[in-house]
Amino acid sequence: MRVAVVGLGGVGGYLAAKFAQAGIDVVGFARGEHLHAIQKNGIMIKEDETETLTPLSAKELCEVEGKFDLLLFCVKSYDIVKSYQEIAPCIDKKSVLISFSNGVDNGDKLRELSDARVLDGVIYILSHIEKAGVIRKKGKLFAAVFGGDREATQLLADLFEKATLRYKIAEDIQTALWKKYIFIATFATLTSYYDKPIATIYKEHYDEAKAVLQEIAAVAKSRGVMIEDEVQKALDTASKLPVDASTSMHLDFQNKKVTELESLSGYIAKEKSVKTPLMEKMYKELRTI
C-alpha cells in the first residue's frame, strides 16, 4: 500500500514519521526550508523529553509521480483544493482520500473535486513545526477519528494499526467532525483575538469562551448535529492543557502567515440562520489584523 501525506506540518509531519517508522511505504509532501531539512537529515519528532529522527521520502507536489492508495491531506484548509489539483494525477477511483485539516466541510470539498473514495476525519493533537525539519508535539494528547465507506475506512484503520497510532472508527462521523470543530474554532478565535494561550483564555475569558462554544453548538443544531454536551467538555479540556499550549491559527497570526480565519471563525460568523454575535465581533476585528 502506497501512502501520501500532503503537508508535513504538526499533524502531517507527525503522522508521516510514525508511518515511516512502521515500515510503511509513505511519501511526504512539503516545501521550502522545511522540505530541504527533511530531505537532508530526516524528520525530527520531539515528544515530551524524547527526540526521534526518522528518514522520510519527501518531495514537492510538483515532483509527484505514480499512484497512491491512501492520501492524507494535512495542509491548512485554504490549501486543500490547490493541493488536490497538484496531486490529482496520482489519484484514481480506487484511491482513498481523507482530510485532517481544521473545519467541517473539507471532505465535501474533496468529494466535489474527485470520484475517488473520500472519508471524513479529525485528529486531536497539539503539535507544530518548531523549526525546519523538526516537529514538536506537546502533551500526550493524540487520537484520530474517521469514518465513511466501510472498506476504505478499514484500509485507513489498518494503516493506523500498523503504526500503533490511536484511532476510532465513528458511526456518526458528522457529529465527530463538529465535536472537534467546536473546540478548535472557539479557541483558535479566542487565542488569536487576545494573543494568549488556551490556558490563559480559560482562566481570564471563561464566560466568553463558554458563550462562543454555545454559539457554535447552536449552529451545529441548525444542521441537525446535537453537540450541546460538548460545551462543558471543551472547557474541561482547555483547563487541562499545558500552560503554553495554543492553536495553529494563533501561531500563524503571530508569525504573520496566512490563517484559517475563514474556516474557523468566518464559517460561524457568517451563519444566517443562527445569531452568533460574539464570533461575528471577533471575526470582524481579526480580519483587520
Residue 153 binned pLDDT confidence (cut-offs 50, 70, 90): very high
DSSP state of 244: T
Task: Report, as an integer, the average pLDDT of 235-253.
Answer: 92
Domain residues of the chain, as ranges?
2-171, 175-287
* Contact call for residues 109 and 101 (beta carbons, < 8 A): no
pTM of the model: 0.89
CATH number of 175-287: 1.10.1040.10
d(CA 90, CA 96): 11
Task: Report, as an integer, the average pLDDT of 53-60.
Answer: 98
Residue 139 binned pLDDT confidence (cut-offs 50, 70, 90): confident
CATH class, domain 2-171, is alpha beta
Q: What are 213-218's contacts with CB under 8 Å, separation 24+?
A: 213/182, 213/186, 215/268, 215/274, 215/275, 215/276, 215/277, 215/278, 215/279, 216/178, 216/181, 216/182, 216/185, 216/186, 216/268, 216/276, 216/279, 217/182, 218/274, 218/276
